[in-house]
Structures are given as C-alpha cells and as structure tokens.
Structure 1
C-alpha cells in the first residue's frame, strides 16, 4: 500500500526538488501540490486516503505553525511534516507542540526524506486504526502483520510452507517480505534459486538507524514480486544476530510491508526467538507421527518457559497428511491439546520434488496442495477472506497441468481426422462383407426360384427377382442395385456395395452365383 502525500509549498524550486525526490521513492504517491494554506485545507477535505501532508515553512496564507495547528484540530489522524530553511531547536520544539510529526530541511537527502515520511505515515495509520475502529480494509495498514513459522523438528516442511504462504499473499497484491531466520541452515536460496551477496547479517551494524535504502540493499527482489531477506551464507555468523538487532530489523520490515513471513526453522536462536515473540501469528508445522507431535509440545513448553509465547497462542499446522495415515487430524488435536488449524497440507512428495529441484515454487502443479495453501492463507489472516479464491499463487500464467491439457488437446485435434478415417475404413470393410453375404443368399434364392418357376416368361423373371430381393435389406436398395442373370444352369447375382455415406455406393459390385438344380430331376 503506497503512502499518499499532499504537498503544500508556494516556492517553485522547492516544489520541483521535492517532486523529483518523491518520484525516486518506492511506495510513495504524491497526490497533489497546493500553493496556499487555504488550498491545502480544501484539498485535505476533498482527498480521501491521505497519509502525510508536507508543509513548507514559507507557504502563503496562514503561517506554517498556525496551519499545522489547524490541520491537527480538524484531522488529527494525518502525519504532518514541516519543511524549514533553518531548523533551530526552539522552532522544532514549537513545531512538535503544534502537531508536526517531523521536521526536514528544505534540501533533504533522499534517505532523510524517506525516513521522515515513513515514520509520519506509520504514526498516521496507527491513529487511523484508533479513530476508525469499524474500518475493515481489504489489506492491513502499513504496520503489517508478522507471521512466524517454526518446525516441530527438522524436515517438517517449514521452509516450503513459508515460501508458498508468502507467494500466496503476493498473488493477491500485497507487499510481502520473506525472512530466513533459520540462521544456520536456511534453505530459502535453494528453494527459490536465489544467489544474493547480501543477508540479514549486513544489517546488524545499521540496525539502530535502518531506513528504506539500507533495507533495499540487503533485500533480494524475486521476479514474482516477493522480497526476501536471506540468512547469512556463513553459518557461523548466526550468533551475530542478537535479539536486539532482530527486533529492530523485524520492526523496520513490519513498518514497510503488508505481510512479513519469517521462516524460523526448527532450532531456537536469538533471532527466531524474537520473531516468535513479536509475531501476530505463530505457526508450528508437524507431520502426522507421534515424534513430531511430541516435539510440538516440547516447543510450546520451551517458549512458555522463556516467556516468548503462551501455548494457547500458537497454531499447529498438520503437513504431509494422507487419508491412509494412522494419525488423523482429530486424533492429533487430542494428542496435542493445542490449537490446530482446520486446514491440513496433503502429502504431495512428487509435486514438491520438482519445485525443490528447479528452485521454482510455481512448478508445484498439485491442485490439492494449492487449495490447501489458499485455505491456510485465509485461515491465518495472511490473505483477506474474500480473496482466497485468487490464491493459488501463480499470477498471469497457467500451471503445468493446464499446459499439459492444452498440449494433449492440440495433439488430439491433430490425430482426430486420422482416427476418424480409420474408423470409416473399418466400417466400409464391414459393409463389403455384409454385401458379399447378402448377395450369396440372393443368388441361392434366385436359383431355387428359377428351378421351380423357370425364367422364360416376364412373370417368372419378376417373381424370381422379387424372391431374391427379399433376402437383401432395404438399406442396400436392391430394387436399384440388384442384377440377376441366368446362363448355363447358374443364377448369377451382383449387388452394388453401399458406401459409408448415405445414398452412396462404392464403384464396384459384389457377385455370387448358384447352380440351378432342376426340381423334377431325380
């Protein structure tokens, strides 16, 4: 969610300089520029969704401090930043008393301007939550939610779940940062095919004065839109991440992203412990077996002893679930005695194998797994309720199954004419066989009729033909395509074979003959 800013300044040079600097900041939107104090007040009333108002000390109309007091009285939820030429201690004190949240020089550095604006925006959005408690925005305010995911023991799919839940949030348009707080054995680079020289260890020295530019240098931006803060490549540097540094880093990330997902791994360090303590929601992954369930209970008890998290304030996620498993969700819930999410993650080893080997989460094409991730994202609050149907996490593209179905459809369309042709040929051969059988029956009937009736008179020939035609189905149209001749003591019959198409006959005849046996001869 971008920070919406209104600028009040009458000096053209000041406006031009601030426009340029604001244009270089990410997630900052300059809504409008007003030249006088009256225009600023009018714009605030007519522009919804403002977060920060930048006011130049030399703005026309009301004196700047009087304008700040007026805005504070009318709109106490706005963050006010005052731009001054010479910021004396006395003036800064007066500005703070009037209601300004920050003071910046007329020619601030980019980092200085960004930090002041973000601090004022964070304060403004916190105030909005108090002034507008009934508000239910589609996404959380800038002080985004922090979700920590830990494993009951190694190999329970913590990293996989963290990556896919973070990707689900990105899919619905949220700004998301994925933090690898498994400081000794972090696998996120492998799962995302990431190579990045920066890590969380590079933020330790600057933890007390983090700003957007310092964070941006340490973060890796994945092509899918996910921002990633990696664990140090050297495992021995894990001890450098103190609880104090982790607290400041997570707080800075939380102020800049809608969702921060922290992969805590299965081992407790100062960094992961701080993530568990600060998180809005803590998920613990467990497989459906007794060792994993017991490990969950040990984790919960340890966090309770350390004062990090109460056992009833965690949520267990059952992963690798299968209907054939001995331990089903209801039984696991009874064994744990802890809150457990309704959604379970199915066991889809083969589908996850390709994604892990290629470093591409999009390669997971299992519909059941994607559905479970979408439901988990909604159940944990990472994705708002109404947007769960847009999850499964692959924006603007089709899954492997969809591509395979498309390829299969194309191949079938190509071979369908050949299949149809072969079927027609088979049916034509069957028609020829039937025609041969019918013409044999007709020849035998014609021979018997000639033996009894003769073939000398028109009446006898007509009766012979009538009897022969009775042995042939009407679909063969014997009245048109049957031919009879009697020569040398044989009744010879020919019949045009029908084609597959209606009312069409093939251009050759099926013939048969039968010997005429004189009925009067002993």
Structure 2
C-alpha cells in the first residue's frame, strides 16, 4: 500500500535531505513540500487522503506545535510527526501534548524514518476506517467554514458586508458567528444597536480554560440569527490579545458553528493576521478608486512577504460599484493583481443610511443590494454545501418541487384565458367590419335574390381573416332594415367550440337607383 505524505519544512536543506531518503523507500509518495504553516494547512485540506504530515520545528509563521494542534483538530484521522533538531524528552513530551504521533530528527537513519512513517501511516489508516465506519462521527473531521473580511482601507464597507452576510446566511438555516477583530476601531454594536458586557478580550484572558460555557457567555445572540463576539470597547485592550489566543478562540468557534465570519478591519495586527492565515476564504473589500486599489495590492503583498497568505489565495470585492465609475472591474482586475470577484456591491448609500443610523440592518429594502449579498455568498462558496455533520434539507427541496408543480397548471390556465380573450376581441372586431360591409352591399345589391345574397356574403367575408369567414362560423341576416352578422368565437383549444358568438348590427341605407 502506498503511503502519501506531505513535508512541511521551510529549510530547503532539510527538505532535500528527507526527500532523498523517501525516494529510497518503497511505497512512499510525497504529495507536496510546503514551506509555511499556511501552505501546509491548505495542502492537507486539498488532499484529504494524505496519511502522514511531517512538520519541521522551525516552520512559521505559526509555531510548529500550534500547527500540529490545528491539523489534529481539523483532521483527527491524520498522523503528524514533528521533525526536530534533537529528539529530547522535553521535545517529545511537547509534541505528544500537541497531538503528534512521533518525533524524528532532521537527519534520521533510513530504517528509523521508515519505521516512524509506517507506524504513523498505519495509525492513520486505522483511524480513517474508524471514522468511515461510524455514523456518529463525521468522515472528514471538517470544522465550520472560516471567512475573513478585510478592508483595503477605511470606509470600504467591510463591516456592512460582514453584518449582512451573517444575517443572510443565518436566515438560510446555518449557524453563524460574527467576530469583530477590528480590535481598535470595531463598531459592530453601533451597526446592530446591541450592548454586551463581554468581548473577545475576555475570551483571550481565559483562553487556557476555554470551554463551551465560557464561549457561550462571551457571545451575544442577535435576534436576526447570528451570534456576535464583539471587539473590546477600549482600543488599548487589544494589546492584551495575542495571536495564539485568537487561534484558539477561532478554533473553538469553528467546532460550534457552521460559519464563522471575521471582520478584521483594515489594519494588520498579530491577531487579525492569524484570522487571515487560518481562514478558508479571505475577501478584501475595495472601492473603485486608485487609493483603494493600491491599498488592496499592498495588503496582499504584505501577507505574501510575511508568509501569511499567498496573493492568489485572496479575493478582492468591489464595493460602491456603479456604471458611471471611472474604474470598472476590468481595469480594477489589472490594478490589484489578486483575483477579483465577479460579484460587486452596488453604490446604494441612501438605501443603507437609515439602517446604519438606527442600528437596524433589516431596514435595508434595496433589492439590488440584497441580491449582491447573495451573489457574494455563493461565489465565496458559502452556499455550496450543507454544514458538516448535517444532512441536506431534502424536505424543503421536495416542498418547493411540489409547489412549483402545482403552479404550472395555473400558469397554463392563465395563458389559455388570455389567448381566449384575444380571440374574443378579434371576433368582435371582424364582426363589426363584416356587418358594415354587408350593410353597404345590401344597400347597393339588395338581398332578395340568391345571387345578391352570395355577393353580400363574399363582400362581408373579404373583411375577415382566418377561420372566421367560412359558412360554419359566419352567419348573415337582414331584418327590418338592419344587417346582423354573427361570428362564432373560435376556441383556444383545437377540436372545441365555444357556446357563443359575437353579433353586430348595421343599418341598411338603400342606395339603389330606381
């Protein structure tokens, strides 16, 4: 059986040495070699059938032990081995405490390397069979989705987007937690008109004893659906919030919610940089102007230099988009460098003004804005699949199908009724034309002789088109100086006849020369 492994090693010399040794071992396939912690997390997520991951103790920016914890939480069936310079008792104990399945040195013997990897791979295969065979445990070990939103600069609508995305996704039946990591200037309470005595700083202070009760007490449950973890009310409190605390807080939230949406503001700090690195999807909001385009590009390049996130793994979303803007999406795509989302947020400040001033986002009734929020959620992959551990709501889909099936006959009946009304109108018009023409013909030709009757009928029929002119449908009578023309109304369905006709009378003015 081939063992699939990933090497998370930033030192090229160590990576090259281990790679050469693995080439000498049979049935071992190196899936990829990653240099940063973020790349390791992404590679493991993209290759769920990996058996073993080797993590170098000097990898960054996330420390090796923290990276191991993150991998084990996300993928409990995955075996992780720590690569250390020295395999001391303290290092071994720390690695085991983080969830690693073993420790090897960066220059192991071939037999030692094979033994460690085989044992770890066998354990991984056993755990995978256990998860697949159990109906109570998710087969993938996947956590809730983490979406991080950043602003290219202040005022690009990051908080507004985060709030409306959270409300819309909560309304779709997902469990959603909105986290305000704009630690110095975050103002989600103002946008939602809420007050809560706990915030993210309280969770950071109690991060070593983080459990369900502590997390629940720190969150505010908004009536619109999402749960809120607010930023500290005083900006200086943000100095006490470490990247390690944010990592543990976000991991704890992801085990409890289908979606965790982070508003990280427009500043790069250790705390929100961690949210960017751990996120499944990162979106930068930018307005269509040169300063904002430059700000988005600077931010993605900064993340790349700090090895937080690669530029191609970030999406840029245009807000306040209007057809009259000088910078349109095609030009913006060339300016920012990173992928640009097809969805855009329209320039609808007036539609958002009342909601922002009153703290009531439900007051936004602008359909273009609401549809744009839905398109952003769909393009970001937030609506593609049901939450981990939950079955698709097929009952809703069935109900929708039944309702649609019931509507189809009604739509058909309405169309037939409209078309029948058109036929009645045409019949009435032809009847009027035919009566007038028949009255003129009778005035000139008379109607007593059979020959004249045929000519009157021919002249009347000349003013009629279609099936209305044949003898079965067109009837002409002359009574008391009036010509009465009756035309049977055609039925909209072939083979049927309507039980009524349209009759029109016209007075005969005798024009014959005596």
Q: Deviations over 1:369-389 (max 9, x none)?
A: 2563244322xxx566799xx
Q: Map 1:53-92; keep pairs closer than 5 Å.
A: none
Q: Map 1:289-328; keep pairs closer than 5 Å.
A: 289-300=289-300, 307=306, 309=308, 312=311, 315-320=314-319, 326-327=326-327
Structure-1 residue corresponding to 2:372? 369
For residue 333 of structure 1, report the CA deviation from its aligned partner: 4.6
C-alpha separation in 2, matches of 1:204 and 1:386: 30
- Please tell me whether the aligned partners of residues 182 and 264 of structure 1 are also in contact (alpha carbons under 8 angstroms): yes
For residue 149 of structure 1, report the CA deviation from its aligned partner: 1.9
C-alpha separation in 2, matches of 1:420 and 1:505: 13
CA RMSD of aligned residues (A): 5.5
C-alpha separation in 2, matches of 1:281 and 1:508: 73
Structure number with bigger Rg: 1
C-alpha separation in 2, matches of 1:177 and 1:423: 59
SS in 2 for 1:215: helix
Match of 2:513 among 514, 517, 520: 517
Residues 316/239 of structure 1: CA separation in 2 closer, same or farther (3 Å cut): same
C-alpha separation in 2, matches of 1:418 and 1:255: 56
Residues 446/310 of structure 1: CA separation in 2 closer, same or farther (3 Å cut): closer
SS in 1 for 2:339: coil
SS in 1 for 2:262: strand
Residues 517/251 of structure 1: CA separation in 2 closer, same or farther (3 Å cut): closer
SS in 2 for 1:182: coil
C-alpha separation in 1, matches of 2:221 and 2:484: 76
TM-score, L = length of structure 1: 0.51
Residues 142/192 of structure 1: CA separation in 2 closer, same or farther (3 Å cut): farther
Match of 1:359 among 353, 361, 364: 361
Aligned residues: 357
SS in 2 for 1:353: helix
Residues 258/471 of structure 1: CA separation in 2 closer, same or farther (3 Å cut): closer
Structure-1 residue corresponding to 2:346? 348
C-alpha separation in 1, matches of 2:239 and 2:161: 26
Residues 264/442 of structure 1: CA separation in 2 closer, same or farther (3 Å cut): same
TM-score, L = length of structure 2: 0.52
Match of 1:472 among 460, 466, 489: 460
Structure-2 residue corresponding to 1:231? 231
- Please tell me whether the aligned partners of residues 146 and 254 of structure 1 are also in contact (alpha carbons under 8 angstroms): yes
SS in 2 for 1:472: helix
Residues 182/472 of structure 1: CA separation in 2 closer, same or farther (3 Å cut): same
- Please tell me whether the aligned partners of residues 182 and 263 of structure 1 are also in contact (alpha carbons under 8 angstroms): yes
C-alpha separation in 1, matches of 2:505 and 2:418: 27
In structure 1, the gaps of 5 or more residues are 1-75, 79-95, 102-126, 388-394, 398-409, 448-454, 456-460, 485-491
**Residue 286 (structure 1) aligned with residue 286 (structure 2):** yes
Residues 372/507 of structure 1: CA separation in 2 closer, same or farther (3 Å cut): closer
Q: Deviations over 1:416-439 (max 9, x none)?
A: 989987984685366235313321
Q: Map 1:59-208; keep pairs closer than 5 Å.
A: 131-132=127-128, 141=141, 144=144, 146-163=146-163, 166=166, 175-189=175-189, 194=194, 196-208=196-208
